[in-house]
Structure 1
Amino acid sequence: MRHPSLANIEWQDLRQLKPTETVYNIFLSLPFLLLSWWSAWQGWWLLALVATFFFFTAALRQAHDCYHRTLGVSK
Protein backbone atom coordinates (compact mmCIF):
# COMPACT_ATOMS: atom_id res chain seq x y z
CA MET A 1 0.00 0.00 0.00
CA ARG A 2 1.41 3.35 -1.07
CA HIS A 3 1.29 6.41 1.06
CA PRO A 4 -1.18 8.99 -0.38
CA SER A 5 1.43 11.76 -0.43
CA LEU A 6 3.58 9.73 -2.86
CA ALA A 7 0.92 9.93 -5.59
CA ASN A 8 1.72 13.60 -6.28
CA ILE A 9 5.48 13.15 -6.71
CA GLU A 10 6.74 13.46 -10.28
CA TRP A 11 9.64 11.02 -10.64
CA GLN A 12 12.58 12.34 -12.66
CA ASP A 13 14.93 9.35 -12.66
CA LEU A 14 13.37 7.50 -15.61
CA ARG A 15 12.95 10.39 -18.01
CA GLN A 16 14.70 11.06 -21.30
CA LEU A 17 17.72 13.36 -21.05
CA LYS A 18 18.08 16.56 -23.05
CA PRO A 19 21.11 16.76 -25.39
CA THR A 20 22.80 19.28 -23.09
CA GLU A 21 22.38 16.93 -20.13
CA THR A 22 23.93 14.09 -22.14
CA VAL A 23 26.96 16.22 -23.05
CA TYR A 24 27.27 17.28 -19.41
CA ASN A 25 27.21 13.65 -18.27
CA ILE A 26 29.84 12.59 -20.80
CA PHE A 27 32.32 15.38 -20.05
CA LEU A 28 31.67 15.66 -16.31
CA SER A 29 35.07 14.38 -15.16
CA LEU A 30 37.22 16.13 -17.80
CA PRO A 31 37.69 19.50 -16.00
CA PHE A 32 38.83 17.73 -12.84
CA LEU A 33 41.31 15.61 -14.79
CA LEU A 34 42.75 18.67 -16.52
CA LEU A 35 42.95 20.58 -13.23
CA SER A 36 44.69 17.63 -11.61
CA TRP A 37 47.30 17.37 -14.38
CA TRP A 38 47.87 21.11 -14.53
CA SER A 39 48.23 21.57 -10.77
CA ALA A 40 50.63 18.61 -10.55
CA TRP A 41 52.67 20.14 -13.38
CA GLN A 42 52.78 23.41 -11.43
CA GLY A 43 53.88 21.56 -8.31
CA TRP A 44 50.71 22.36 -6.38
CA TRP A 45 50.32 18.91 -4.89
CA LEU A 46 47.48 19.62 -2.49
CA LEU A 47 45.32 21.06 -5.27
CA ALA A 48 46.32 18.12 -7.49
CA LEU A 49 45.22 15.70 -4.78
CA VAL A 50 41.85 17.41 -4.32
CA ALA A 51 41.27 17.61 -8.08
CA THR A 52 42.18 13.92 -8.44
CA PHE A 53 39.64 13.03 -5.75
CA PHE A 54 36.91 14.96 -7.58
CA PHE A 55 37.96 13.35 -10.87
CA PHE A 56 37.67 9.91 -9.28
CA THR A 57 34.21 10.58 -7.85
CA ALA A 58 32.96 12.10 -11.12
CA ALA A 59 34.31 9.13 -13.10
CA LEU A 60 32.68 6.78 -10.60
CA ARG A 61 29.36 8.52 -11.22
CA GLN A 62 29.87 8.15 -14.97
CA ALA A 63 30.62 4.44 -14.61
CA HIS A 64 27.53 4.02 -12.46
CA ASP A 65 25.37 5.79 -15.04
CA CYS A 66 26.87 3.64 -17.81
CA TYR A 67 26.12 0.49 -15.88
CA HIS A 68 22.49 1.51 -15.41
CA ARG A 69 22.27 2.91 -18.97
CA THR A 70 21.30 6.37 -17.75
CA LEU A 71 24.25 8.27 -19.20
CA GLY A 72 22.14 9.49 -22.10
CA VAL A 73 23.77 7.56 -24.93
CA SER A 74 22.51 4.49 -26.71
CA LYS A 75 23.72 0.97 -26.00
Structure 2
Amino acid sequence: MLSIVVGAGMIAWVLTRPVGYASFGWFAYAPLSDTAFVPGTSRWVLMWVLFGLGTLLVGLGAGFLLGRRRG
Protein backbone atom coordinates (compact mmCIF):
# COMPACT_ATOMS: atom_id res chain seq x y z
CA MET A 1 0.00 0.00 0.00
CA LEU A 2 2.87 2.33 0.81
CA SER A 3 4.46 1.81 -2.61
CA ILE A 4 1.16 2.69 -4.32
CA VAL A 5 0.96 5.92 -2.34
CA VAL A 6 4.60 6.73 -3.09
CA GLY A 7 4.10 5.91 -6.79
CA ALA A 8 1.01 8.11 -6.98
CA GLY A 9 2.92 10.90 -5.25
CA MET A 10 5.75 10.60 -7.76
CA ILE A 11 3.29 10.72 -10.66
CA ALA A 12 1.74 13.87 -9.21
CA TRP A 13 5.19 15.39 -8.63
CA VAL A 14 6.37 14.64 -12.16
CA LEU A 15 3.20 16.00 -13.75
CA THR A 16 3.43 19.29 -11.84
CA ARG A 17 7.06 19.99 -12.80
CA PRO A 18 7.72 22.41 -15.67
CA VAL A 19 8.72 20.75 -18.92
CA GLY A 20 12.13 21.57 -20.37
CA TYR A 21 13.68 23.09 -17.25
CA ALA A 22 17.12 21.58 -17.99
CA SER A 23 16.96 20.90 -21.69
CA PHE A 24 19.61 23.45 -22.72
CA GLY A 25 23.19 24.30 -21.86
CA TRP A 26 24.40 20.82 -20.92
CA PHE A 27 26.22 20.35 -24.21
CA ALA A 28 28.69 23.14 -23.36
CA TYR A 29 30.09 21.37 -20.29
CA ALA A 30 33.16 19.41 -21.47
CA PRO A 31 32.75 16.15 -19.45
CA LEU A 32 29.14 15.85 -20.57
CA SER A 33 29.68 16.86 -24.21
CA ASP A 34 29.89 13.26 -25.47
CA THR A 35 26.82 11.99 -23.60
CA ALA A 36 23.16 12.55 -24.36
CA PHE A 37 21.30 14.27 -21.56
CA VAL A 38 17.62 13.41 -21.19
CA PRO A 39 16.01 15.36 -18.35
CA GLY A 40 13.71 13.47 -16.02
CA THR A 41 14.45 9.95 -17.26
CA SER A 42 15.55 8.56 -13.90
CA ARG A 43 12.38 9.80 -12.22
CA TRP A 44 10.22 7.99 -14.76
CA VAL A 45 12.17 4.77 -14.29
CA LEU A 46 11.85 5.04 -10.51
CA MET A 47 8.13 5.79 -10.83
CA TRP A 48 7.52 2.71 -13.00
CA VAL A 49 9.61 0.49 -10.70
CA LEU A 50 7.61 1.63 -7.67
CA PHE A 51 4.36 1.21 -9.58
CA GLY A 52 5.35 -2.32 -10.60
CA LEU A 53 6.37 -3.26 -7.07
CA GLY A 54 3.11 -1.88 -5.71
CA THR A 55 1.14 -3.87 -8.26
CA LEU A 56 3.04 -7.04 -7.39
CA LEU A 57 2.50 -6.52 -3.67
CA VAL A 58 -1.22 -5.91 -4.12
CA GLY A 59 -1.48 -9.02 -6.31
CA LEU A 60 0.43 -11.15 -3.82
CA GLY A 61 -1.66 -9.88 -0.92
CA ALA A 62 -4.94 -10.44 -2.77
CA GLY A 63 -3.85 -13.92 -3.85
CA PHE A 64 -2.84 -14.82 -0.32
CA LEU A 65 -6.11 -13.59 1.18
CA LEU A 66 -8.34 -15.13 -1.49
CA GLY A 67 -6.44 -18.44 -1.65
CA ARG A 68 -6.37 -19.08 2.09
CA ARG A 69 -8.34 -22.07 3.32
CA ARG A 70 -11.05 -21.23 5.74
CA GLY A 71 -11.74 -23.55 8.57
State the TM-score, normalized to the length of structure 1. Answer: 0.48
State the TM-score, normalized to the length of structure 2. Answer: 0.50
Structure with more contact order per residue of length (Cα contacts < 8 Å, sep ≥ 6): 2
Q: Which protein shows a greater Rg?
A: 2
